[in-house]
Amino acid sequence: MNFQYSYLELPEIFYREWQPEESYKREPLIFNEDLARELGILGGLPQATRPFAQAYAGFQFGHFNMLGDGRAVMLGELIVPNLRRFDVQLKGAGRTPFARGADGNAALGPMLREYIVGEFMAAAGVPTTRALAITTTGKEVLRERPLIGAVLTRVATSHIRVGTFDFARAYASFDELKALADYTIWRHFCELLEESDGKYLQLLRRVAKSQAELIAGWMGLGFVHGVMNTDNMAISGETLDYGPCAFLDGYNPAAVFSFIDKQGRYSYKNQPAIAAWNLSRLAEALLPLIAPEREIAIELVTKEIDLFPEYYMNNWLKVMRRKMGLKGEREDDHDLAQELLDAMAEYSLDFTETFRSFEFPELREWRRKWIRRLNSAGQNAEQATELLRRNNPAIIPRNHKVEQALTAAETGDLQPVHDLVNALRRPYIESAQYSKPKVVEKYVTFCGT
Active site positions, annotated: 231
Full DSSP string of 327-372: -S--TTHHHHHHHHHHHHHHHT-BHHHHHHH---GGGHHHHHHHHH
Alpha carbons within 13 angstroms on the beta-carbon side of residue 271 total 31
Which residues on adjacent β-strands are paired with residue 54?
15
Q: Which amino acid is at 275?
A: A
Burial class (CB within 10 angstroms; exposed 0-12, middle 13-18, buried 19+) of 392: buried
Q: Which amino acid is at 25?
A: K
CA-CA distances (angstroms) from residue 144 to 13, 111, 141, 243?
Answer: 35, 17, 10, 16
Q: Which residues neighbour 298 within 8 Å (Cβ) at sequence distance 6 or greater?
A: 287
Q: What are phi and psi of 104, to 5 degrees?
A: 75, 5
Q: Cα separation of 246 and 443, whole Å? A: 9
Cα–Cα–Cα angle for 111, 117, 123, nearest 5°?
Answer: 135
- Classify the phi-psi angles of 101: left when phi > 0, otherwise alpha if psi is within -120 to 50, otherwise beta: left
- Alpha helices of 18-79 — where are they, by DSSP H? 33-39
Task: Give me the helix-helix angle, 399-410 and 415-424, nearest 10°.
Answer: 150
Whether 97 and 73 have beta carbons less than 8 Å apart is answered as no
- Alpha helices of 136-270 — where are they, by DSSP H? 162-171, 174-188, 199-221
